[in-house]
Chain A
């Protein structure tokens, strides 16, 4: 009897039980807030990474592909090595100056001569873009050891 009374009290006057609908509008509002937050605070730009150092001793750093020996910190005696001075938009090797756009051909020639190590001295005129360009070309084209040497006092 008591149970029947409780059931009756929950029912509306017409005798049909009240339907409690699920309100989606607050959920949609919260979703929009989240969407606006992520749209405003995130960047969709595609980035890439270039390792400048691998925890190597300060002053000498190595940009090595994953297959190379990261522990090698001194030039091997029989390794073939070239020294490049990087200036703005150019690379100087000895008495030759090569625009950065022509580096792929130079690197192919170095590979043909079995040169596997490049020492890079950025000059005062070099920018971060120049360094990134040179490191990218060397890394992508399979030069196994690239050393970036700081402290160069060579003018651009």
Chain B
């Protein structure tokens, strides 16, 4: 076989998609940063009470998790009810957010509102927003 004497074809420059990938991934990171709420272990495993007509909120802190058995964890740290005030620090925050299982007895929830060491602290129940029937 005779070798061709023509010059080899010019090497085509391969398209570099790195910058496009970085851009897309950066947009995804921004999306998760803006729309997501960082959660601790167990905080997404309970069945929250559901509401449909209240405005949307992000998952706030400090967050007291109360599961169906009544076990509590403050921002991921297991504790007893009488340790909550001490765990919140010397200066109590404005509010304590309760992530309580929807099937939990209301008595357990109400018991927190009567604790003298939590008096003056605004307790706010977190619910899961679900679409109402009318929204489709």
Secondary structure of the A side of the interface? mixed
Complex contact B110–A151 (CB within 8 A):
yes
Complex contact B111–A150 (CB within 8 A):
yes
Complex contact A43–B37 (CB within 8 A):
yes
Q: What residues of chain B lie closer than 8 Å to A39, measured between beta carbons?
A: 32
Q: What residues of chain B lie closer than 8 Å to A128, measured between beta carbons?
A: 49, 100-106, 109, 125
- Mask, A49-75, CB within 8 Å of B = 1, is 111111101110100000000000000
Most chain B CB within a 10 A radius of its CB, from A57, A86, A124, A129: A129
A49-107, CB < 8 A from B: 49-55, 57-59, 61, 86
Complex contact B39–A42 (CB within 8 A):
yes
Q: What residues of chain A lie closer than 8 Å to B119, measured between beta carbons?
A: 55, 57-58
Q: What residues of chain B lie closer than 8 Å to A58, measured between beta carbons?
A: 113-116, 118-119
Complex contact A50–B127 (CB within 8 A):
yes
Is A7 an interface residue when CB atoms closer than 8 A count as contact? no
Q: What residues of chain B lie closer than 8 Å to A42, measured between beta carbons?
A: 32, 36-39
Closest to A43 in B: B39
Quote the shortest CB–CB distance from A6 to chain B (angstroms). 32
- Mask, A144-156, CB within 8 Å of B = 1, is 0000101100000
Known: A39-B32, A42-B32, A44-B36. A49 touches B105 (CB 8 A): no
- What is the bound-complex CA distance between A31 and B26, given in angstroms? 6
Q: How large is the interface on A (under 10, 10 to 19, 20 to 34, 35 or more residues)?
A: 35 or more
- What is the bound-complex CA distance between A34 and B36, given in angstroms? 14
Most chain B CB within a 10 A radius of its CB, from A39, A44, A128, A135: A128
Stretch at the interface among A12-20, A21-29, A111-119: A21-29
B23-67, CB < 8 A from A: 25-26, 28-29, 32-33, 35-39, 43-44, 48-60
Is A127 an interface residue when CB atoms closer than 8 A count as contact? yes
- What is the bound-complex CA distance between A42 and B51, given in angstroms? 21
Is A45 an interface residue when CB atoms closer than 8 A count as contact? yes
**Which of A25, A59, A135 makes the CB contact (< 8 A) with B113?**
A59
Is B15 an interface residue when CB atoms closer than 8 A count as contact? no
Complex contact A52–B98 (CB within 8 A):
yes
4 additional A-B residue pairs with CB within 8 Å, beyond A50-B124, A58-B113: A47-B128, A52-B124, A58-B114, A122-B106
Contacts from A to B (Cβ < 8 Å): 24-25, 27-28, 31-32, 34-35, 38-39, 41-55, 57-59, 61, 86, 122-124, 126-133, 135-136, 139-140, 148, 150-151
Q: Which 8 A-B pairs have the closest CB atoms?
A: A42-B36, A150-B110, A24-B18, A48-B54, A38-B32, A132-B49, A122-B106, A129-B102
